[in-house]
Every structure is written in C-alpha cells, then in structure tokens.
Amino acid sequence: TEVVKAIENVYGTLSDEYRKLVKLRYWNNRKLTWDVIADELHVNRTTAMRWRDEIIIATIELLGWR
C-alpha cells in the first residue's frame, strides 16, 4: 500500500541511530518504554522522542498528509 511504501522509503533514508530507534520501538516483541529506548541509544528521552517525531513527519510529508 501507499503507507507501507512511504514507511519503507523513509526508513531507507534513516541514519543507523534512527533505524535502531525504529527497530527498538516498533519492530520489537518487547514493549519498551521511551526511557529504555533512550538508554539503548545513549541519548536522553527527549532526544529519542524528537527523533521519532522527525521520522513521523518525514513519513506524513511523503504521503502528502501535511
């Protein structure tokens, strides 16, 4: 679908750190908190959530939803 293609496209452009965030948060069987994800990435919680926001914005812009 269009959404899947947009996600794949954006994921393909991400840095290794951003890809790790995606894997930890969305492609992981464990339900990790943002604090745990931030610790895994060696950043603070605010930075991890800002990265998440950037990924979401890139995806919705690619879809033309914004």
Distance in angstroms (rounded) separating the CA atoms of residues 56 and 59: 5
Q: What is the rounded distance in angstroms from the CA atom of residue 31 to the CA atom of residue 6?
A: 24
Q: What is the pLDDT of residue 66?
A: 78
Kindly report the pTM of this predicted structure: 0.88
**CA distance linking residue 63 with residue 25, whole number of Å:** 22
List average pLDDT for each run of 10 residues in the chain, which is 66 residues long: 94 97 94 97 98 97 91
Q: Which amino acid is at 62?
A: L
